[in-house]
Amino acid sequence: MDIRIGLGYDVHALSENETLVLGGVSIPHAKGTVAHSDGDVLLHALCDALLGAAALGDIGTHFPDTDSKYRGIDSRALLRKTVVLLKTKGFEAGNVDSTIAMQVPKLKPYIHKMRENIASDMNLSVEDVSVKATTTEELGFEGREEGISAQCVVLIKKI
């Protein structure tokens, strides 16, 4: 098959005294993600979508949280490594569509920079990268500010 789609999903708990990084952008907030890496749920979901589309497993298979070399790692590095894995299997990304679910803070001021980071790391045009943000109207763990989630869909194509 010359084209494939992949779906990725990630969740992290939020806690005080942690940093919040989304799409490679540090966002000032009273709470951040609890994680082995930098906790960037957007990039983790994206890596899973890419890996899934190429039938290469998931992010935990390639970058396990049991390996100390990934402690605190910048998830942009994981994304770049994932792009290389895709290339070795003969694929490249076509486009990305993603959604972050979080009650606060408002993410609109940071979305363009997230798109630029993702496009740069994946060798795509910014126009090929969509990042959206939504609240959950104070429902669920995101609405109670206990955690954050992200979903991502990608199209990959044979090189």
What's the average model confidence in pLDDT over 101-122? 97
Q: What is the pTM of this model?
A: 0.96
CATH code (residue 154): 3.30.1330.50
Rounded-to-integer distance, Cα 115 and Cα 78, Å: 16
Token couple for 159:
């090189």
Instruction: List pLDDT tens digits, range 136-146.
Output: 999 999 999 99
What pLDDT was estimated at residue 25? 98
Total domains, the chain: 1
Give the pLDDT mean for 5-32: 97
pLDDT digits (tens, 9 = 90+) for 34-43: 998 899 999 9
pLDDT band at 83 (very low <50, low <70, confident <90, very high): very high
Distance CA 17, CA 78 (A): 24
Q: Which domain holds residue 117?
A: 3-158
